[in-house]
Structure 1
Amino acid sequence: MAEANKKMSLAGLTTLVMVNMMGSGIILLPSSMAQLGAVSLLSWIVTAIGSMCIAYCFAQCGIYCNRPGGMSAYSEEAHGKSAFFLCSYLYFLSLVISNVAISIAAVGYLTPFVPWLGSGSMPLFIGTLSMIWLTTFANFGGASLTGRLGSITVWGIIIPVAGLSIIGWFWFSPSVFAEAWNPNQLAVSDAITSSIPLTLWAFLGMESAAQNSDAVDNPTRNVPLACLLGTLGAAVVYVLSTTVIQGIVPNAELANSSAPFALVYAQMFNEGVGDVVMALAVLACLGSLLGWQFTLAQTAKVTADQGMFPGVFARVNRLNAPLLGLICCAILQSLIALSTISPNVSEQFGKLVNLAAVTNLIPYVTALSGLLVIMYKAQVELAVFRRNSLILLVGMAYCFYALYASGMDAMFGAALVMVAGYLLFGIIAKRFVAAIDNLKQA
């Protein structure tokens, strides 16, 4: 009974998914999308459809495959033991990169309150390290504590963003929105393609429920529900909030803002309200980073349990938290923050986001393809197999499109990282051959 109490509930898991998705990407997104104009909002349609299909397929994987490991276990079903390692390895690196990017964004939000943080590369680096280690220590309390903290910090994004989605329409100006539609006179298809990496960044996290399945109470029921509910809730908020803000703040002003939601509330009410929204944004960013630190350490733990990562990641304290693994992850993030150090927040943030998105998409592809084998083993009904396969194809098509839209530089970097992963697995592969031989001899 005591062990069950340490597990995460459906509410906690759904909150974790939404916090992971909404905690940082949506706060900066309106400014990034304004660089292209309001026409970029059309990319939400493509990304929302693709993300819902991906989330649905992960939910189906969770129903028919109860093995620990999340996406890595699904990948192994179709592609063998090496796929388990490569999926975990790429997803692990993606989360490390993403966490550094989120930490940098959080420091950017704090800069108006603590101007010293924006005075150079070293203050930015110190602030980033503080964010990384603060959220690492907060995760020492285990899964249930992370879920409870997440349920508090999520309001830092739900209040201003969801609130804007509802009340912002009273300030919405059709003429402001029309002027912002396509200031660069881009072809609609080009604008959508250019916006895909931005909207994809906001949806990364839909897999969090599946990835943390072995730390969840009743995973057969709760993992699929959390995937779908978290993704659907985030999609609604994303579309409404980014649309209404384009009709309140002039596009040129929005494109140059480092805190778009604080800006829009300042215009709707006053500067004091804008400052409150800025503080809530910092809280949301911390909550997002808290959830991602947990997911990162859990991914490393599950992979270490399979003998594919160093055993230090598998050790847990009495609260079932992988304490040493969290510390190792924080050290790695600190090194990446040092290697990408820059005095400019947006420049450093931009260096990390595209590579993180691509290294996340590759595990999506390998994990989603495992659904076909998982359904075959479960002997699902033909109608269910056909329906899921059709949705799978749509999700895959979106993944391929998003990889193309991420650009050559990000694809090249991810390819180098993936090739290095094959070498690493080759070094440890003999462990699994020996295990097979021992099984035959027995």
Structure 2
Amino acid sequence: MADASKKMSLVGLTTLVTVNMMGSGIILLPTNMAQLGAVSLLSWVFTAIGSMAIAYCLAQCGVFCTRSGGLSAYTEEAHAKSGFFLCSYLYFLSLAIANVAVAISAVGYMTAFVPWLGSGAIPLCVGTIGLIWLTTIANFGGPKITGKIGAFTVWGVIIPVAGLSIFGWYWFRPEVLMAAWNPNQLPISEAISKAIPLTLWAFLGMESAAQATDAVENPRRNVPLACLFGTLGAAVVYVLSTTVIQGIIPNAELAKSSAPFALVYGSLFGPGVGSVVMALAVMACVGSLLGWQFTLAQTAKMTADQDLFLKLFGKVNAMNAPVIGMTVCALLQTVMALSTISPDAAAQFGRLVSLAAVTNLIPYITALTGLLVIMHKAGVGPAVYTRNMVVLLVAVGYSLYALHACGLEAVMGGTLVLAIGYLLYGFLGQKFTDSASTLKPPAPLSNNGSNATR
């Protein structure tokens, strides 16, 4: 048994959860939310509550189900082997889509240093694909190098965003926020719904907390608390930063920016500081993309190890990096970048975020329903069962609402890839069928043409 003194504390795990979520999720959000108006800030209330409920339930899954596989393993508890495959398949696609969106965020901030990248659809696409391949190749060195780089670069976004959340209020002007409140004159319910995919995007990755159970002191207590506190901490920073920025920069200017945080720092402290923030944001996005590229490849490897993905995804090099799988993932993301090509980084980002949210929400829902079976197997007491059930209903309710809010196009796209997933599993399912339980031939017909016996 590992020395308890070497395990992670509640404070350490909470910090880890917050850092994992923040990454690059906030980088382009102010621009997309400004296009809806400051009224979109109300969606943070629903997303923060829903995300904390999801994070808590996934943490409970991790506490009572110690199998490897994360979301897919929890799903299999309730939905058998096909559930494992479909959850992994959709989560894999959601990560691939999200990685393209992160690459677009980085390129949006890079335009200040390389203006050509922002001169049209082709340059933006070239920059995005180039960044995808750069971070893929950088991962060939294995997880140790990836972890060290990611732990350092993530602070490039956390420091300026958290700093603005605290000190930006000195320059905040309520009249600027009110002028930006609802420029499109949308009904409040519609504005909130349209912003849900954007705010949910910022919380994707909260499921990572449950993966650290083995390295945490008193995991049954600290993992759920770290999920809640970490998600709440990220929510506070998100709400404060996106609110204060809409009270500093006029809405029309903010809605057109490809680098909103650099814009606000530049307007407050001069273009030199704005350039530094841009450089930090690019660094953070590249580091975040580096980590998520590895997570994407590891998700494929884990599924291949279960004989549910092609074997090539499971092959690793001497540095324990699934190089072939990473290359295939990069090719897939290249196709995604080409298929969503747009001259407007924010518009392309918004479409990808909605689709990523849909393909992530379905695995959330299937994993959450697995908690019911997991608790039954673990024999939890009535108090724990009731508490978790209430939180579970909140989590699933929010997830269903968020699916609806992602819009017809994104939900249709998610439904199509889910249907394709069922077809793919049809070819794989025979591997997991017990030959002794195959269907028996029908009984012979009697003289009167029926199967009835005398």
| C-alpha contact (below 8 Å) 1:8/1:144 kept by paired residues | no
Per the TM alignment, residue 278 of structure 1 is displaced from its structure 2 partner at its CA by 1.0
1:371 match: 371
2:320 match: secondary structure: coil
In the alignment, the residues of structure 2 paired with residue 11 and residue 326 of structure 1 have an alpha-carbon distance, to the nearest angstrom, of 33
SS of residue paired to 2:205: coil
Equivalent residue of 1:396, what SS? helix
In structure 2, relative to structure 1, the CA distance for the partners of 1:378 and 1:402 (3 Å cut) is same
Tell me how far 1:434 sits from its aligned partner.
4.7
Map of 1:188 onto structure 2: 188
In the TM superposition, what are the counterparts of 1:84-99 in structure 2 within 5 Å? 84-99=84-99
Q: Pairwise mapping of residues 140-179 of structure 1 onto structure 2 (< 5 A)? A: 140-179=140-179
Give the conservation status (yes or no) of the 8 Å contact 1:176–1:249: yes
Distance 1:324 1:9 in 2: 37
Percent identity reads 68
Give the aligned residue type for 1:252: A
User: Secondary structure at 2:172's aligned position in 1?
Assistant: coil
Mapped to 2, the partners of 1:117 and 1:179 lie a distance apart of 32
The equivalent residue for 1:47 is 47
In structure 1, distance between residues paired with 2:362 and 2:27? 25
Q: Normalising by structure 2, what TM-score?
A: 0.88
One-letter amino acid matched to 1:80: A
Q: In structure 2, the residue corresponding to 1:35 is in which secondary structure?
A: helix
Q: Distance in 2 between matches of 1:168 and 1:312?
A: 49
SS at match of 1:380: coil
Post-superposition CA distance 1:152-206 (Å, at most 9, x none): 1111111110000111011111222222223333332222112111111111111
Q: Deviations over 1:368-394 (max 9, x none)?
A: 010011011011111011001100100
User: Aligned AA for 1:177?
Assistant: L
> Could you list the per-position Cα deviations for residues 382-424 of structure 1 after superposition, in whole angstroms to 9, with x for gaps in the alignment?
1011001100100111001101111111111111111110010
Change (3 A) 1:171 1:10: same
Task: Deviation per CA, 1:190-226: give whole Å up to 9, x if none.
Answer: 221121111111111112344x569x74698386566
Question: In structure 2, how many angstroms separate the alpha carbons of the residues matched to 1:225 and 1:140?
Answer: 35
Contact 2:59/2:207 (8 A) holds in 1: no
Q: Name 2:320's counterpart in structure 1.
A: 320
Q: State the match for 1:21 in structure 2.
A: 21
- Range with bigger deviation, 339-348 or 240-249: 339-348
Alignment correspondent of 1:408? 408
Letter in 1 for 2:132: I
Counterpart of 1:198 in structure 2 is 198
1:26 alignment partner, SS class: coil
SS state at 1:343 partner:
coil
Partner of 1:345: 345
Residue deviations 1:97-151, cap 9 Å, x none? 1111211221121112012222343332322122112212232333333222122
1:78 Cα offset (Å): 0.7
- Going from structure 1 to structure 2, the CA distance change for 1:250 and 1:124 (only over 3 Å counts) comes to closer
Cα distance in 1, alignment partners of residues 130 and 420 from structure 2 = 30
Q: CA separation in 2, counterparts of 1:430 and 1:74?
A: 22
Within-5 A mapping of 1:277-296: 277-296=277-296
How far off its partner does 1:8 sit? Answer: 11
Q: Is the 8 A contact 1:297 1:313 kept in 2?
A: yes
Tell me, yes or no, if the aligned pair for 1:150 and 1:290 is still in contact at 8 Å: yes
* 8 A contact 1:117–1:123 mirrored in 2: yes
Shift of 1:340: 2.7
Q: Is the 8 A contact 1:361 1:399 kept in 2?
A: yes
CA distance in 2, matches of 1:219, 1:392: 25
Contact 1:365 1:399 in 2 (8 A): yes
Cα distance change, pair 204–266 in 1 and its aligned pair in 2 (3 A): same
Q: How does 1:239-250 map to 2 (within 5 A)?
A: 239-250=239-250
Deviation at 1:299, TM superposition (A): 1.0
Pair 427,264 (structure 1): closer, same or farther in 2 beyond 3 Å = same
The whole-number CA distance in structure 2 between the counterparts of 1:219 and 1:311 is 36
Q: Is the 8 A contact 1:22 1:234 kept in 2?
A: yes
Tell me: CA distance 1:22–1:169, structure 2 relative to 1, closer, same or farther (3 Å).
same
C-alpha change, 1:373 and 1:174, in structure 2 (3 Å) is same
Gaps (5+ residues) in structure 2?
A: 2-6, 439-454
**Displacement, 1:323?**
2.5
Give the AA of the match of 1:73.
A
Aligned length: 431
Q: Which moved more, 1:391-400 or 1:246-255?
A: 246-255
Q: Distance in 2 between matches of 1:219 and 1:100?
A: 36
CA distance, structure 1, for counterparts of residue 49 and residue 413 of structure 2? 27
Query: Aligned partners of 1:125 and 1:402: how far apart in 2?
Result: 29
Once residues 209 and 365 of structure 1 are traced to their aligned partners in structure 2, the CA distance between those partners, rounded to angstroms, is 17
Match of 1:427 in 2: 427
Q: Is the 8 A contact 2:176 2:247 kept in 1?
A: yes
* Corresponding position of 1:4: none
**Contact 1:75 / 1:368 at 8 angstroms: preserved in 2?**
yes
TM-aligned CA deviation for residue 9 of structure 1:
11
> What is the TM-score with the length of structure 1 in the denominator?
0.90
The amino acid that maps onto 1:171 is: W
Q: What SS does structure 2 have at the residue aligned with 1:80?
A: helix
2:80 corresponds to which letter in structure 1? G
- Rg larger in 1 or in 2? 2
Shift of 1:263: 1.2
CA contact (8 A) 1:111 1:117 kept: yes
Q: Which residue of 1 aligns with 2:449?
A: none
Task: Tell me, in whole angstroms, the C-alpha distance in 2 between the residues paired with 1:140 and 1:29.
Answer: 31
2:389 is matched with which residue? Answer: 389
Q: 1:417 aligned to 2:417?
A: yes
Deviation at 1:18, TM superposition (A): 4.2
| Cα distance change, pair 231–322 in 1 and its aligned pair in 2 (3 A) | farther
